[in-house]
Amino acid sequence: MKPYLKRAWAEVSLEQLRKNIRIIKELNSPSTEIMAVVKADAYGHGYESVCRCLQEECGIKYFAVSNLDEAIAVRGLCPKAEILILGYTPPEYAHEISHYNIIQGVVSAEYAKALCRGSRGGIRCHVKVDTGMGRIGLRYASPRECAEEVSEICGIQGLSVEGIYTHFAVADSDSPENIAYTDAQEKFITDTYDELSEMGIKLQHLHFMNSAATCYRNSSRSTLSRAGIIIYGLHPDISLEIPQGLEPVMALKAVISQVKTVEAGQCISYGRTFVTDREMRIATVTIGYADGYSRLLSSKGEILVHGKRCRIVGRICMDQLMIDVSHVPEAESGDIVTLIGRDGDEIITADELASVYGTIGYEVVCGISKRVPRIYID
C-alpha cells in the first residue's frame, strides 16, 4: 500500500514551521514566551506532527487549545506542556481538567466555583477579562472593579489562579481609531494586573498578545505571546505585512486526471455556468469542495500548472474541478498541480484565495478536510 493516495494532499513544511518560530521568538522580549495556539487541528495543519515539532525541536512549553478534547490530545503528545483551554468546558468535566493537569480559562466567579465543585484534585486557571472583544470574560467599568472579582476568584478553595488575560479585537488594524481601541484594551488589562499587585496578589502570567499584537505592537508586559496564524505563516489581516521570513507552512496539491480539447460553445460542469468561447484545452483536477476547496472559487480561482496560472472554469464539483490549460501545451494526465503554494516563480497563498471569495486565510486552511492527507516535509 502506498503511504497516501496521490489525489489531493497537503504538504506541511516542518522546516518552515521551525523558521517561523525562530522569527517570532526574535520579535518577543526575553520576558515573553510563545504560547503556540494549536486549536482546530493546528489550524488544519495536523496537530500531532506540529505539536511534536513545536515541543521537541522548537522548545515550546505553552500551548493553547479550544476545548477539553483538544487539550487531552495535546497532553498525550506533550506530557510536560502547559496547556490552556481558551473556550468553555462544562463543569461536569472538571475532574478531567484536573486529572490531565490542564489550565482552564475562567470567565466568572460562578463558573470557577462550579468547576471546583466538580473537581477532586483542584483546578488550575487563568482568568479571562473582556476588555472590548464582547465575547467571554469578566466585564467591568474599571480595572479596580475587575481586580476585585479576580481577587474573589483567587479565594475560591481548590482553585489555583495563575494569570489573567484578554483578547484584542482589532490589533490587526492600523487605523488611528482601532489603534486607540487596542491601546484602551491593553491599558485596562495591565491596570487590572497592577491593581491586583497592589492588593498583594502576584500572578505568574499577564497575557494579551495575539498574532497581530505580536507582529505590530509587541509588549514586554505580556508574559505570553499567543501566536496562532503567524506560526503557520499567514497574515492576521491581509492588508498588513507580516515580518519578513514568516512564510506559509502548508501547500495544497492535486493531479490532473484528464486533458481534453473542447470546441467552442460547449458547457463545462454543473449548471452550465461556463460555456467555451473558443476551442480550449480543459484539464480535470482531482480535488473539490468536499476536500475543503471552496465552491465559491468556481470560475474565479486559479491553479498553478507547470508554473503557470490556469483559471478554474465552471462550477467546482464535490471531488473534481476543471481548468483552462490552453496556454500550457505540456499539461497532461498525471501532472501535479498546486492550489496553495509555490510553483516556479508563481505563488498562490491561502490569503489570496480568501480574498477572492471574501473570507480570511484562517478559514481556508482550517477548512481543508480530513480526507486530504497531510504529508510532512522536513
The beta-strand segments (E) located in 176-311 are: 205-207, 224-227, 250-262, 267-268, 274-275, 280-285, 302-305, 308-311
Task: State the Cα–Cα distance between residues 132 and 152, nearest whole angstrom.
Answer: 22
Task: State the Cα–Cα distance between residues 28 and 30, nearest whole angstrom.
Answer: 7
Which alpha helices (H) appear in the chain, and where do they start and end?
14-27, 39-43, 47-52, 68-77, 94-99, 109-118, 143-154, 176-198, 211-216, 350-357, 361-366
Instruction: Tell me phi and psi for residue 62, to 5 degrees.
Output: -105, 135
What is the torsional sign of CA 33, 194, 198, 106? negative
Partners of 262 in the β-ladder: 280
Pairing of strands 308-311, 336-343: unpaired
Write out the catalytic residue numbers.
Answer: 39, 270
Task: State the Cα–Cα distance between residues 304 and 57, nearest whole angstrom.
Answer: 32
Task: State the Cα–Cα distance between residues 34 and 228, nearest whole angstrom.
Answer: 10
What is the torsional sign of CA 85, 91, 92, 97? positive
Query: What would the grid cell of residue 145 be?
Result: 472593579
Q: What angle separates helix 176-198 from helix 143-154, to the nearest 10 degrees?
A: 50
Q: With beta carbons less than 8 A apart as the criterion, state whether 96 and 68 touch.
A: yes
Pairing of strands 267-268, 224-227: unpaired
Residue entry with cell 510553483? 343
